[in-house]
Amino acid sequence: MSILKQAKTVGIIAILAVLAGCAGQVNESAQTSSKVESAEDRAAREARQAEFLAKQEAAKTAEQLRNSAMAADTLFFFDFDKSDLKQDALDDLDAHAKYLAADRSAKVRLEGHADERGTRAYNLALGERRANAVARYLVIQGVNRSQIESVSYGEERPLSLSRDENGWSRNRRVELIYQ
Amino acid sequence: MRLFIWLVMAFMLAMPARAELVIEITRGVENPIKIAVVPFRVKSAGAFDVDLARLIESNLERSGQFVRVRRDTMLSLPGPEDQIFYRDWRAIDSEYTVVGSLERDTDGLLVRFGLHDVYGERVLFAERIPGSSDSLRDIGHYISDRIYEALTGLKGIFSTRLLYVSAERRSEKDQTFKLILSDADGGRPQTIFQSSEPILSPAWSPDGSRVAYMSFRGKRAGIYVQTLATGEVQKVSDFPGLNSAPSFSPDGRKLVLTLSRDGNPELYVANLRTGQLDRMTNHFAIDTEASWSPDGRSILFTSSRGGKPQLYMMNVSDKTVKRVTFDGDYNSNGAFTPDGESIVFVHRTNERFHIARMNLKTREIRILTETDLDESPSVAPNGTMLIYATSDEERGLLGLVSMDGRVRVRLPSVSESVREPAWSPFFN
């Protein structure tokens, strides 16, 4: 019995030893495999890092674009009975367009206006055409149509009450308002 | 399109507007009828808050066809039962003399009046008119209509009404717009709709029971039809973009209006019962300011399809379009005269905007006004005059001008800037 017991004990020890050895081997092989996978890991980490940096960069750019958009003019003027954009409006509109294209959550409202000359309902249509001219330009520069809302007030909301070309030229306008 | 109904709050209907229009005649016809309206004799205790004789003489004088004989020159002040000494009236150059009285009775009040032909030395007619104390202005307008019709042969317009828009501006974005309904002389102004956003293009239904106009609900423009008696409001359209310039068809069942829901201002006809829309124009230019002809067959509208705003006429049945105006580089906002033979519109000459009339047969144009920034002509239902919007240095005013341009009357407002007048049809 005792021999048997001893044998059993030896056996158990042996099994334990084997198990221990196996365990060691498992550990060893785990370490080996971890070294093998670290290349992918690095790639992923690098990708994550790059993404993070890109995001940071984009945020910085968006921030910059936002700042230049906020510094840009928001009033765009037109000639009598015209809805063509003037050359000097384009730099400011570009600044707004770049920001809006970079930040799809940003939204603008375009309010079209006319001067008091001419009839009111016609001027309402003219104000809309002016707002649409600005909207079209922004869309061509990459802004989504859904980021733009436009409305015409015709001649009902003049900026200036002067009854001369000085006043009228201020009133023939589109106002760009961030929402 | 679905039709929605709102109720305008009752207090809005009852709210009196502050600004009353004051009459100021700038020019009249060469040989106006001289008429003496004797102060109406009050035959019961207590005073009345309307001076009927003043109301009647102001009404008649505003037509440009009459001139009043001043009260302080009258040699006697007879009542309707008194004998009239015609030589006394000839002596002060009165061709016709009106006498009257008013008294309170158990049913309200009773007005009597008579019209005398001084040179013919006879009574043309005498009437008794029962009424209530708040109907005195109505009775005054009715008497004015009777006298006008008897002496000119034309139906009077003194019992008709006006719609116009007033605007009070505190800053560019802080304004109060009111749609106001008043008597034809500007009396009894009532605010029927009020908004901090613009109200434009009020238009009467042919029976005078409803008005259409453009207003904003929130930041969105729409066309609404309001029933005057109940204050009920029906939404006709509030599509994205323009919803503007409504005009009723002569049968009152449809509205022609401007929508830009397809990207560009186009004319549509909306059926007010079914809500069905029929697109009438298809052009990349601006098409707006439509006005239905009295026979219902044509629609006059403004279009920039020729490069500048000009008037065009559409045949409603086949939608074909012909240009109407060729003279000048800005002709817009046209409307028909009640006989359908002429149109009135805004015409620019020498950088100034005036109201002009064109006979559709002869194509002859006559400029009717000489103030500045004249717009929104609306012809009285008897076709003798039109009301229009003009302005002085500070604010918008309303003016009347006869269809030959010879009679001009200014209706300056007391405080607010007024615009967009629309003359009602006859109510009877």
CB atoms within 10 A of CB B150: 14
| A122 φ, ψ (degrees, to nearest 5) | -65, -40
**pLDDT given at position A36:** 59
Per CB distance under 8 Å, which residues of A are interface residues toward B?
A: 81, 116-122, 124-126, 128-129, 132, 150-154, 156-159, 163
Percent of chain B with pLDDT over 70: 92
The answer to whether A155 and B391 are in contact (CB under 8 A) is no
In chain A, the residue whose alpha carbon lies closest to the alpha carbon of B347 is A118
Going from N- to C-terminal start, the domains of chain B cover 4-17+160-423, 31-152
SS3 state at B93: coil
Are the CB atoms for A152 and B242 separated by under 8 Å?
yes
Asked if A122 lies within 8 A of B289 by C-beta distance, the reply is yes
pLDDT at B9 over 60: no
Work out the pLDDT band at A52, boundaries 50, 70, 90: confident
Rounded to the nearest 10 degrees, the angle between the axes of helix A2-71 and helix A90-102 is 160
Nearest to B53 by CA among B41, B66, B65: B41
One-letter amino acid for residue A142 of the chain: G
Asked if residue B368 lies in contact with residue B403, where contact means CB atoms within 8 angstroms, the answer is yes
Q: What's the rounded mean pLDDT across residues A110-132?
A: 97
With an 8 Å Cβ cutoff, are B286 and A163 in contact?
Answer: no
Residue B1's identity, in one-letter code, is M
SS3 A72: coil
User: For residue A159, which residues of chain B lie inside 8 Å, CB to CB?
Assistant: 172
Are A150 and A131 spatial neighbours (Cβ–Cβ below 8 Å)? yes
B346 or B12, which is more confident?
B346
β pairing state of B385-391 and B396-402 = antiparallel
Enter the ipTM: 0.90
**Would an 8 Å CB–CB cutoff place B170 in contact with chain A?**
no
Band of residue B8 on the pLDDT scale cut at 50, 70, 90: very low
CATH of B31-152, one of 3.30.420.40, 3.40.50.1980, 3.40.50.10070, 3.40.50.1370: 3.40.50.10070
Q: Which of A122, A154, A159 sits opposite B332 (nearest CB)?
A: A122
Structure tokens at A116: 């008091």
Residues in chain A with CB shorter than 8 Å from the CB of B223 are: none
Q: What is the pLDDT of residue A46?
A: 86
Q: What is the pLDDT of residue A25?
A: 47
Q: Is B189 on the interface with A (CB under 8 A)?
A: no
- Hey, which bits of B254-294 come out as E strands? 254-259, 266-271, 277-279, 287-292
Torsion of CA B125, B128, B129, B132, to 10 degrees: 150
Average pLDDT of the residues in B211-215 = 98
How far is the alpha carbon of A103 from chain B, nearest alpha carbon, in Å? 24
Q: Residue B370 has what pLDDT? A: 87
- Is B90 an interface residue toward A (CB < 8 Å)? no
Asked if the domains at B4-17+160-423 and B31-152 fall in one CATH topology, the answer is no
The yes-or-no verdict on residue B184 having pLDDT over 50 is yes
B200-221 burial, b at 16+ Cβ within 10 Å, e below that, comes to bbbbbbbebebbbbbbbeeeeb
Can you read off the two tokens belonging to residue B203?
Answer: 């238009």
Is B4-17+160-423 a domain of CATH 2.120.10.30?
A: yes
Count of A-B CB contacts under 8 Å: 87
pLDDT bracket for residue A37 (50, 70, 90): low
pLDDT tens profile B390-417: 988 778 999 999 998 888 888 756 568 9
Q: Which of residues 206-235 of B touch A (CB under 8 A)?
A: 214, 219-221
Q: What number is the average pLDDT over the span B66-92?
A: 95
Look-up: residue for tokens 């034809």?
A: B184
